[in-house]
């Protein structure tokens, strides 16, 4: 099967893959949030890569495939910006407001909290300069007073949306040869730049930009790439050799599983799980969850509940505004976390 054949089939397992990835991030965070920043989760101790990193790469790979497809199908910057904005910001805004509302009830410093709240909301909603702390919250937890550490990746997600938009506006989507050259150069830059630049934002953009570019390449070359379980297994065997090979293995594997695993229709709780899990896990630790397993057990049910409310009452209604009708199947929504 090629990705083109998978798209033509109209049924997929991408929502399930994204939900699994979001839950994987929750599980990965349980170790540092329960035990402290130096705690090493089992997968990282075994392979050198955290489950959270693996899952974020899976997210971003799927995003690279479907966000690129989104612009390619419409070639309208207005629709692209509206669609991406409606996917990202309504759920984020409600989560931030919910965090502030609940946090105000628990902070021992309400005056300082209220003074800081508007800046916290604006900085995190715009994603440009994230604010991780709120006065009085989680100050005694092993990880420290970080309210929502998962938000870091959303800035880079938005930057990569901008890269797709600029490439499309520059005419690369209509010129396959120039498009492919640009894509390869972008991927090479993501591999090479961290060897010479230590600035954290550049390094992280490259870490996520490479799997995003691989996802985009799998879309552009959808008629030629074969999705094979044997190839996926071979890439996983080679993945420990280097970060770029790991990105290739995870990106290829995400698209492979999404198209070739049994098709399933699920409500897409993945974004809600991703953005609500961290503060709820911090709250679980503050309430006495002293081990990773107890942290997972205590935080998972409210995380799923918040994700369900977010999807049914915020995200899905917002997505209807893209075209003025019901939200399309999961494969149309794209891979935003």
For the stretch 117-146, pLDDT in tens is 999 999 999 998 999 999 999 999 999 999
Q: How confident is the model at residue 46 (pLDDT cuts 50, 70, 90)?
A: confident
**Percentage of the chain exceeding pLDDT 70:** 96
pLDDT confidence of residue 18: 97
pLDDT above 60: residue 229: yes
> What is the rounded distance in angstroms from the CA atom of residue 254 to the CA atom of residue 17?
7
pLDDT above 50: residue 328: no
**Percentage of the chain exceeding pLDDT 90:** 86
Number of domains in the chain: 1
Q: How confident is the model at residue 88 (pLDDT cuts 50, 70, 90)?
A: very high
pLDDT digits (tens, 9 = 90+) for 166-211: 999 999 999 999 999 999 999 999 999 999 988 999 999 999 999 9
- Both tokens of residue 40? 């090493």
| CB contact set of 262 (below 8 Å; sequence gap of 6+) | 13
User: Range of 24's domain?
Assistant: 3-333
Q: Which of 101, 142, 106, 141 is nearest to 120 (CA)?
A: 101
What's the rounded mean pLDDT across residues 26-53?
Answer: 92
pLDDT confidence of residue 162: 96
Mean per-residue pLDDT of the chain: 92
**How many Cα atoms within 13 Å fall on the side-chain side of residue 69?**
19
Q: Which of 212, 267, 164 is nearest to 58 (CA)?
A: 212
What's the rounded mean pLDDT across residues 77-103?
Answer: 95
Q: How confident is the model at residue 323 (pLDDT cuts 50, 70, 90)?
A: low
- The radius of gyration of the chain from alpha carbons, rounded to an integer in Å, stands at 20
Q: How confident is the model at residue 10 (pLDDT cuts 50, 70, 90)?
A: confident
Query: 303 near 26, Cβ under 8 Å?
Result: yes
> What is the rounded distance in angstroms from the CA atom of residue 101 to the CA atom of residue 257?
39
Query: Pick the residue with more confidence: 147 or 74?
Result: 147
- Both tokens of residue 74? 């419409």
Query: 22 near 269, Cβ under 8 Å?
Result: yes
* Strand positions, DSSP E, 60-145: none
Q: Which of 29, 300, 44 is nearest to 143 (CA)?
A: 29
> What is the rounded distance in angstroms from the CA atom of residue 306 to the CA atom of residue 274?
10
Q: How confident is the model at residue 336 (pLDDT cuts 50, 70, 90)?
A: very low
Label residue 191 exposed, middle or buried (CB < 10 Å: 0-12, 13-18, 19+): middle
Chain centroid, CA 37 distance in Å:
21
Q: What kind and span of H or E run contains 93?
A: helix 77-106
């Amino acid at each position: 099967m090629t990705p083109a054949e998978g798209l033509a089939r109209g049924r997929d397992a991408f929502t399930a893959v994204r939900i699994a990835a979001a839950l994987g991030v929750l599980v990965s965070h349980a170790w540092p949030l329960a035990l402290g920043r130096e705690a090493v989760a089992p997968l990282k101790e075994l392979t050198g890569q955290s489950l959270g990193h693996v899952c974020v790469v899976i997210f971003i790979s799927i995003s690279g495939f479907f966000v690129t497809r989104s612009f390619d199908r419409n070639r309208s910057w207005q629709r692209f910006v509206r669609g991406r904005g409606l996917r990202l910001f309504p759920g984020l805004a409600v989560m931030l407001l919910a965090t502030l509302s609940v946090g105000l009830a628990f902070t021992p410093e309400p005056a300082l909290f209220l003074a800081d709240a508007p800046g916290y909301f604006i900085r995190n909603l715009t994603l440009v300069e994230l604010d991780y702390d709120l006065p009085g919250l989680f100050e005694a937890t092993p990880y420290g007073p970080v309210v929502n550490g998962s938000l870091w990746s959303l800035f880079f997600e938005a930057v990569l949306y901008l890269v797709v938009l600029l490439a499309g506006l520059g005419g690369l989507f209509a010129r396959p040869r120039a498009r492919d050259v640009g894509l390869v150069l972008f991927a090479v830059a993501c591999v090479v730049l961290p060897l010479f630049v230590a600035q954290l934002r550049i390094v992280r953009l490259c870490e996520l930009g490479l799997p995003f570019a691989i996802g985009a390449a799998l879309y552009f070359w959808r008629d030629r790439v074969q999705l094979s379980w044997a190839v996926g297994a071979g890439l996983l065997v080679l993945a420990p050799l280097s970060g770029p090979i790991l990105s290739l293995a995870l990106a290829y594997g995400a698209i492979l599983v999404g198209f070739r695993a049994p098709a399933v229709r699920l409500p897409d709780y993945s974004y809600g799980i991703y953005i609500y899990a961290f503060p709820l896990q911090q709250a679980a630790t503050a309430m006495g969850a002293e081990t990773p397993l107890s942290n997972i057990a205590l935080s998972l049910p409210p995380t799923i509940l918040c994700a369900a409310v977010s999807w049914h009452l915020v995200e899905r209604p917002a997505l209807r505004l893209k075209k003025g009708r019901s939200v399309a199947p999961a494969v149309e929504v794209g891979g935003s976390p």
